[in-house]
Amino acid sequence: MTDIARKTPVIEGLTPDQIPFDDILAQQRPTIFRGMARDWPLVQAGLTSPRAAMDYLLEHDRGERFVGYTGGPEIRGRFGYDEGVTRLNFQTERTPLRAFLDRIEQGLELVDGPSLYIGSSDIDAYLPGLRAENDLGLDLVALGDETPLASIWIGNRTIAAAHYDMSNNIACCVVGRRRFTLFPPDQIDNLYPGPLDPTPGGQAVSMVDFDAPDFERFPRFRDALAAAQVADLEPGDVLVYPALWWHQVEALDPFNVLINYWWNAAPAFMDTPMTTLLHGLLSLRDRPDFEKQAWKRLFDYYVFGPADRAGAHLPEDARGDLGPMDDRKARRLRANLLNRLNR
């Protein structure tokens, strides 16, 4: 991939309770916290050998079948679409952890072996007790009182093609080295996203092969590279970045483990904005441009402007859905939407 000079800021010497989450989100500034998880037993096991790290994981295995992903040597580790962009270029299976780790171990010395990874598995459900010794101990107040979802990712040299997540992310590089290539949300047009269905992991991914970008087919990718930043992580490093930032994730060693925490400082009654986007495709995208511009003004007024603007001039007891949202209003509004959709 074309060299990217811009590096993600690095901070050393902080403890997890000192992470400035509010500043990172407000300033949209991904940040590396060097060595924050270096003392974790799993990190230390991985520094000893891949086998030591695998044995440590197996000590906590409760026998549940993980979802494993396998791609042939021809995908060169990059999980995404096939040539026709109508199917994915890998297979999915339910697998015991031990069997999957054995496959990875057998291929540690292979240069052109299959690509193997287990993605986004709930640590507490699959590996109970692991977090008792390997956890950041995050302050929930700093995360908006929302309990983060802790997941584990395990594999060999793999590439998660550039995509975005709808949650803020705390990514802990535990075993092996990782490289995140990050793009701010405004680069979506320059990253050439694939279809909404199918997707490799729930989100559309960039069509651009970063290792061999086709600039004739994807000319605006040069602009994306100009806005990109790279985060190179060693075992024990922690990367924090905001929701909706696009990121390609490369696992650089023969065996790699990442633990991450996803969180949103939003009430549980709020729906995912993806629901709104999908309905926008249904109801707005193909209308005449003059209508879309008018609807954009309405959305700016009711949704994207200050939350209290649309109801500020109304008596408080007359604001209805224009007033502050709560669980009761959310249920009523959801029921109204379902009635409209089921017309």
Render 310-335 in DSSP notation, one character per residue: TTTTS-GGG-GGGS---HHHHHHHHH
* Structure-model confidence comparison of residues 147 and 20, the more confident one: 20
Task: Give the C-alpha distances (Å, rounded to integers) separating 95 from 71, 241, 245, 292.
Answer: 15, 31, 31, 48
* Structure-model confidence comparison of residues 179 and 1, the more confident one: 179
DSSP state of 17: G
* Structure-model confidence comparison of residues 187 and 338, the more confident one: 187
**Per-residue pLDDT, 265:** 81
Does 2 have pLDDT greater than 70?
no
Instruction: Give Cβ neighbours of residue 62 (< 8 Å, ≥ 6 apart).
Output: 126, 127, 128
Instruction: Render pLDDT for 242-263 as a digit per residue (tens, 0 to 9).
Output: 999 999 999 999 999 999 999 9
**Per-residue pLDDT, 266:** 83
Q: Which helix (H) or strand (E) holds 256?
A: strand 256-263
* For the chain, percent of residues with pLDDT exceeding 70: 99
Instruction: Give Cβ neighbours of residue 6 (< 8 Å, ≥ 6 apart).
Output: 228, 229, 230
Instruction: Render pLDDT for 195-250 as a digit per residue (tens, 0 to 9).
Output: 999 998 888 999 999 999 999 999 999 999 999 999 999 999 999 999 999 999 99
8 Å CB contact between 215 and 181? no
The domains found in the chain, sorted by start residue, are 10-263 (2.60.120.10), 273-341 (no CATH)
Mean pLDDT of the 101-126 span = 94
Does 87 have pLDDT greater than 60?
yes
8 Å CB contact between 203 and 162? no
Give the residue carrying structure tokens 């993806």. 274
CA distance 199 to 195: 7
- The type of residue at 66 is F
Torsion of CA 322, 326, 329, 330, to 10 degrees: 100
**Per-residue pLDDT, 141:** 79
SS3 state of residue 90: coil
Instruction: Render pLDDT for 149-188 as a digit per residue (tens, 0 to 9).
Output: 999 999 999 999 999 999 999 999 999 999 999 999 999 9
